[in-house]
Structures are given as C-alpha cells and as structure tokens.
Structure 1
Amino acid sequence: MNKLTSRQVKQLKSEAHHLNPIFQVGKNGVNDNFIEQIDDVLEKRELIKISILQNCLEDKDTIAQQISEGTKGHVVTVIGNTIILYRESKENKKIDLS
C-alpha cells in the first residue's frame, strides 16, 4: 500500500469536503462486522467519512488505524471527530489521483 502524496491528500480532502459521514463509531468501538461494512462501501465509493461519537472510549487515531488496517484503506486525514478514508476501487474506479 503506497503512501498518499501531499497533493493526493489535498485532492481527496477537497473531494471529501461535501460528503456526509456514512458510519459512526460509538462506545462499542470497531469490530469485524463494522470493518466489513466499511470495506463494502469503500469498494463502491472509494472515499468516505466516518464520524466518531462523543461516547466513543477509544482514541480517534487508534480507531482510524484499526479501520485503515482492516480495510487496507488510506486514512486521508482525521479532522475533529471525522475520519476521511480512501481506497481505490477494483470495480468502480471514480477518483483519478494525479
């Protein structure tokens, strides 16, 4: 898995700006089922936002890392309580990273 360049991160941040979070991480944290659901949506959309609720007990960077490793996706950035996650789709490639 290649690291994203700063230009790619900037591009993905601007593309993610208008997106609404699809998933929420609460006090139960991250489990295999949650990772699977994110994995499926990443394949369809490539770029998603995940919000971390106030009642979540784990550190947001730890959660971002768990999700990233579980889905083989890239954490574009963690802003406030929102994780922006990207993974190139095998079937539905929509985003062209320069």
Structure 2
Amino acid sequence: MSLTGKQRRHLRALGHHLDPVVQLGKHGLTEGIVSAVDQALEQHELVKVRVGTECPDERGDLAEKIPPAVRAELVQMLGRTILLYRRHPKEPKISLPKAG
C-alpha cells in the first residue's frame, strides 16, 4: 500500500500533536526497538519514533529500514522524528481520504 500526497498530509496533521512513543538511543536499531514500534503500530496505527542524538545510525538509513521491518508506511521524517503509519487489519481507527 502506498500513500497518496493527500493521505500523507492528512496523517501528518493527525501526527503533529502526538508524542514520540519509541525512542532510539545509543544502541541504535535493535530487535527490541523493531518489536516496540510494531507493538505501538498495532495499538495506535500512527506512531512517532524519536531518534536520540546518541543514536549511531543515520536518520535516513533508519527511515528506510524501519518501515519494511514493521510493514508500515513512512509518512514523514522531520528532524530527528519519524512518523509511521500502518492500518489496523480488523479495526482501523483512522480513516484516510480517498485516493485520487
């Protein structure tokens, strides 16, 4: 599933007021972090991930690695914050604008 520009704008607006749920620290991207992001997406659908200043991984690399690892879409990367979206398979909470 690929998001349209209109859908991304809608998700960015919803994500603006969210606090980061998962934070990457000095150990970088670990299996535990991937699991935590996956769990958060399962509960919330739209999740902010904060990349700490001591994180050894590059932000751009993280923005490429995390979404496929948790089957999510990258909505936005702004500074040290990554916004991810994954629709809940059974009970979606967020309704996206129609594509097109």
| TM value normalised by structure 1 | 0.93
Q: CA deviation at 1:57?
A: 1.5
How far is the alpha carbon of 1:67 from its aligned partner?
1.1
Name the SS for the 1:41 alignment partner. helix
The separation in 2 between residues aligned to 1:91 and 1:64, in whole angstroms, is 26
Cα-to-partner distance string for 1:16-68 (whole Å, 9 max, x where unaligned): 01100011111211112211121111011000101111111211111122110
| Residue matched to 2:81 | 82
Unaligned runs of 5+ residues in structure 1 are none
Q: Cα RMSD over matched residues?
A: 1.0
The letter of the residue matching 1:68 is P
TM-score normalised to structure 2 length: 0.91
Q: How does 1:8-27 map to 2 (within 5 A)?
A: 8-27=7-26
Please give the secondary structure, in 1, of the residue aligned with 2:92.
coil
Measure, in 1, the Cα distance between the counterparts of 2:31 and 2:55. Answer: 17
Taking the TM superposition and a 5 Å limit, the aligned residue runs for 1:44-83 are 44-83=43-82
Residue 76 of structure 2 contacts residue 83 of structure 2 at CA under 8 Å; is this kept in 1?
yes
User: How far apart, CA to CA, are the structure 1 residues paired with 2:90 and 2:30?
Assistant: 25
Identity %: 32
Q: Shift in Å at residue 88 of structure 1?
A: 0.4
Gaps of 5+ in 2: none
CA contact (8 A) 1:43 1:90 kept: no
